[in-house]
Chains A and B, each alone.
Chain A
Amino acid sequence: GAVVSQHPSWVICKSGTSVKIECRSLDFQATTMFWYRQFPKQSLMLMATSNEGSKATYEQGVEKDKFLINHASLTLSTLTVTSAHPEDSSFYICSARGQGRGRVTFGSGTRLTVV
């Protein structure tokens, strides 16, 4: 159990366009989801925490208008990178935690390349 699906696994987009990444919990209800970004050969940096039905909480330095997070249901959270630029190219990973569950489960990540 505890499977998190992230889609797409990779995406290439043009500068100025927006990209949506989905994170789904397949066999549990995710009350909380976390979004991380990871630059090559670096660690994961937490971007934001989203709770179902409420606004996301962003970490310091993360632009909430640039990285739109929606957690509209207990099984789906989305991250939209708006007006993407090459510096937004990165690996984005979500994790999800269910009600009464202990640790989180991570998605398989999305490689975003902005050209």
Chain B
Amino acid sequence: SQQGEEDPQALSIQEGENATMNCSYKTSINNLQWYRQNSGRGLVHLILIRSNEREKHSGRLRVTLDTSKKSSSLLITASRAADTASYFCATDNTGTASKLTFGTGTRLQVTL
């Protein structure tokens, strides 16, 4: 399956700053999800945005979706050192929200 591309591949910011990660994908989708992965660990679901939604918020997270450009962005506001992790977008074109195609990921480093 074709993976999506994420940029940047790596991002280093200071605590308190905002972090923006972008994801582009190739096929039409039913929904797009963002996950977080700490080094060597499993994935934690962050947020799901459906294809008919344009923006979604959850706490310090803001996700946008532009289906015409086949792209999404994840914004983490007021970052904390504990936000240091890899972030992946994942698309679902089956409508089940379960068979996912993952992007290449962004490694975020938040320093004090």
Interface residue ranges, A against B (CB under 8 Å): 6, 32, 34, 36, 41-46, 49, 59, 91, 93, 95, 97, 102-109, 111
Assembly CA distance A49 to B104 (angstroms): 21
- Compute the total of residue contacts between A and B using a CB distance below 8 Å: 59
Please tell me if B26 contacts chain A, counting CB pairs below 8 Å. Answer: no
A46 and B99 in contact, given A91-B40, A93-B42 (Cβ under 8 angstroms): yes
Interface residue ranges, B against A (CB under 8 Å): 1, 3, 33, 35, 40-45, 48, 88, 96-105, 107
**Whole-angstrom distance between the Cβ of A99 and the nearest chain B Cβ:** 12
A97 and B96 in contact, given A43-B103, A103-B33, A109-B40 (Cβ under 8 angstroms): yes
On whether the beta carbons of B43 and A103 are closer than 8 Å, the reply is no
20 residue pairs of the A-B complex, CB under 8 angstroms, read: A6-B42, A34-B98, A34-B100, A42-B105, A46-B1, A46-B99, A46-B100, A49-B99, A59-B1, A93-B42, A95-B98, A97-B97, A102-B97, A104-B98, A106-B35, A106-B42, A107-B42, A108-B41, A109-B41, A109-B42
Residues of B within 8 A of A93 (CB): 42-43
Residues of A within 8 A of B35 (CB): 106
On whether the beta carbons of A103 and B45 are closer than 8 Å, the reply is yes
On whether the beta carbons of A43 and B105 are closer than 8 Å, the reply is yes
Residues of B within 8 A of A107 (CB): 42
Assembly CA distance A97 to B100 (angstroms): 12
Assembly CA distance A94 to B103 (angstroms): 17
**Whole-angstrom distance between the Cβ of A75 and the nearest chain B Cβ:** 17
On whether the beta carbons of A108 and B33 are closer than 8 Å, the reply is no
